[in-house]
């Protein structure tokens, strides 16, 4: 069965944009709907255990900025595919992505991965790796491409 609902979780970074472009191209060929999701992580809301809390105006500002960014991304890609409403949720990204995929009855999740290794991966974890192992549907994990200046011959 070909996907009809494609979830694209985004951290609003460039790698996530590559995943969205791919999902849009796939969706346009399959007549599928793309659902763009941004999750504001719990630590962004403060760390009560450490006595760090954010004011409601700061939280509202983060929510407003992320929703505006999501809407802008959808508007920029509107002609490329059919979109469902841009979704902004709060919580642990791993749980929220899986819950959203289940709620929307998604047939595919397309997401970027940073490709971290070693200590960085141990400390930061891998949202993509967890989603690949626990998602209610197939997952296409796209390694983020980074550009770096390798010297005078670099393009």
Model confidence, pTM: 0.81
Taking the domain 5-92+100-110+131-143, which CATH number applies?
3.40.50.620
Task: Tell whether the model's pLDDT for residue 104 goes beyond 80.
Answer: yes
Task: Tell whether the model's pLDDT for residue 87 goes beyond 90.
Answer: yes
Phi, psi of 149 (to 5 degrees): -85, 110
Could you tell me the pLDDT band of residue 23, with boundaries at 50, 70 and 90? Answer: very high
Please report how the helices 93-103 and 127-134 are oriented relative to each other, as an axis angle in degrees rounded to 10.
40
Task: Tell whether the model's pLDDT for residue 133 goes beyond 80.
Answer: yes
Instruction: Count how many Cα atoms sit within 13 Å of the Cα of residue 155 in the half-sphere of its side chain.
Output: 1
| Domain definitions of the chain by residue range | 5-92+100-110+131-143
Q: At 113, list the tokens.
A: 């991965």
Q: What is the pLDDT of the chain when averaged over all its residues?
A: 83
135 strand-pairing partners: none
Residue whose structure tokens are 């998602």: 135
């Amino acid at each position: 069965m070909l996907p009809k609902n494609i979830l694209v979780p985004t951290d609003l970074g460039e790698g996530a944009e590559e995943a969205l472009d791919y999902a849009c191209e796939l969706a346009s060929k399959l007549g599928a709907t793309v659902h763009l999701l941004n999750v504001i992580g719990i630590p962004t809301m403060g760390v009560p255990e450490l006595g760090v809390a954010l004011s409601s105006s700061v939280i509202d500002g983060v929510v407003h900025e992320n929703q505006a960014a999501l809407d802008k991304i959808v508007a920029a890609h509107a002609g490329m595919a059919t979109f469902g409403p841009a979704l902004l949720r709060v919580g642990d990204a791993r749980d929220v992505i899986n819950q959203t995929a289940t709620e929307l009855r998604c047939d595919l999740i397309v997401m970027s991965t940073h490709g971290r290794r070693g200590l960085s991966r141990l400390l930061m974890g891998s949202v993509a790796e967890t989603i690949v192992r626990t998602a209610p549907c197939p997952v296409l994990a796209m390694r983020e491409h980074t550009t770096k200046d390798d010297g005078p011959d670099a393009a």
